Amino acid sequence: MAPWILVSLLAAVATAGQTAARGAAPAASCPIPSGTVSGPAAQLSLFTRTLYYVREDHPQDIGPRSRDLLLGALEAAAVQDGALRVRRNGDVPPRWVTVTVDDHPCTLNLEEVNAPWSLRRALQQVIQFTEAYLAPKPTAESTQRLMRIQFAATNGMLSALDGRSLLLDPQTYRQVRARLPNASLPAPVEPVSIPAATPASREPIVYLRVRTFRSGVAGEVRRALALPESQRARGVILDLRDNPGGALDEAVGVADAFIGAGVLGSTVSKRERKQLVAHSDGHEPSGALVVLVNRRTASGSELVAAAVKNLGRGVVLGELTAGAGSIDVFFDMPDAPSQLPQRRPAPDPNRDVIQNILDDVKPDPVKAEPIKPEILGDPFGLRLLVGRLLASGGAEIDRTGVRPDVEAAGSTGQEPGTDNDCLVQFAAALMARAGDSRRSALLEAAKGHPIPLECGRAAAP
């Protein structure tokens, strides 16, 4: 017998032995009693719409992960409703799972769950099975109960997917929409002139605090820098502490207001990688620049800080930032099966995909067939991770953060004051002591200027 034939036979015997040791998987079976009437919840409209956007826009290919996503959905449904119990077999990965509803078992073959369509089909089997034993004749109360199970299952799938994407109920989504970056918010950016740290200098230092990158904030920063007191300033302190991010195009605009040339960073989505490039308008301030950050500086504000540091425009002072470099988009989710998008339209060549997302421009299928609001009520909302930010130079921001040039602890209150804000005064002292506005001069000044005790050293990560 040829050696390779012997090896093949031995491998086949070993595989058969392993299968026998594991035991045969039970046959897939979710029997539904005759006479059961299926209600609207069994159509899985919320889950199906969510799965559509995940398939189209999430950066990961969910096909290979369909089994894990189904298990996440089923286990979350069981947590939501005590009538459901979920048991997976002990294989790694598991080959089957049994969902028990009031002592009636429904067994699924997980090896057949390998694509979005089979994921949806398997969950629909379970929901229909659950409905058959909890509410064989649908009522308003049973429909609400099954909708709560579907809602929990959808969030279980999203949690297994990335731990960040989330389906929001209408009440929560209303509150979130009111605080989205494009919403109208108070507190415009206005320059505050503070005295230089040395009496010999008569040049003021301008302090700008940007709380979030809402719509229009980049224009406000440019207008603030164009004011006469800003033009005469020795430098600018840009305070991004506690800035959670916001609209990425506004964050890019703020960085562009200080940086005349270079790649500020990039975005990576499922379909493309796009560089965010600075464009000089000849009005960038020439004075020194110090950016203040802390552990709550996140997302777009981390992009700004990294660009200032990596492109040599200024110095970053404070704590290691949050490391939140994901790009999220919110989708309206009316719970109406007839509104499910049937196909994705051809992209507009004059419109950038990422910019659509960041500007909150919804794809056409979302509102292809409008339904009267009084019929639908307020929509659910889907927050979906669609990409990630990379810092200038290509470094990851997500889970990494931006490490400041000079590390010092310093938080902000609701209204941080320049007179008693330790980090602001330390930044002003660096500018006053530096021989010029170059980054190298600021770093050299930092070496010879100890951090005040009231500021304190930044905590180790």
Residues 226-250 pLDDT 10s? 877 667 778 999 999 999 998 899 9
How far is 180 from 329, CA to CA, in rounded Å?
10
Per-residue pLDDT of the chain (461 residues; tens, 9 = 90+): 554 444 444 444 444 444 444 566 677 788 888 877 777 777 899 999 999 999 999 999 999 999 999 999 999 999 999 999 999 988 889 999 999 998 999 999 999 999 999 999 999 999 999 999 988 788 888 889 999 999 999 999 999 999 989 999 999 998 887 766 544 333 445 555 544 443 344 578 889 999 989 888 999 999 888 877 667 778 999 999 999 998 899 999 999 999 989 999 999 998 889 999 998 877 788 889 999 999 999 999 999 999 999 999 999 999 999 999 988 889 998 754 433 343 344 445 454 444 444 444 444 443 333 333 333 468 899 999 999 999 999 999 998 999 999 988 765 554 555 556 888 888 988 898 888 889 999 999 888 777 776 676 555 54
| DSSP line for 404-458 | -SEE------SS--TTT-HHHHHHHHHHHHSSSSSHHHHHHHHHTSPPPTTT-PP
Residue 38 contacts by C-beta under 8 Å, 6 or more apart in sequence?
Answer: 128, 131, 138
Identify which of 134, 136, 163 has the alpha carbon closest to the alpha carbon of residue 76.
Answer: 163
* Residue recorded with tokens 């530096």: 434
Structural domains of the chain ordered from first start: 38-163 (no CATH), 192-325+391-447 (3.90.226.10)
Identify which of 256, 134, 187 has the alpha carbon closest to the alpha carbon of residue 415.
Answer: 187
Residues 82-129 pLDDT 10s? 999 999 988 889 999 999 998 999 999 999 999 999 999 999 999 999
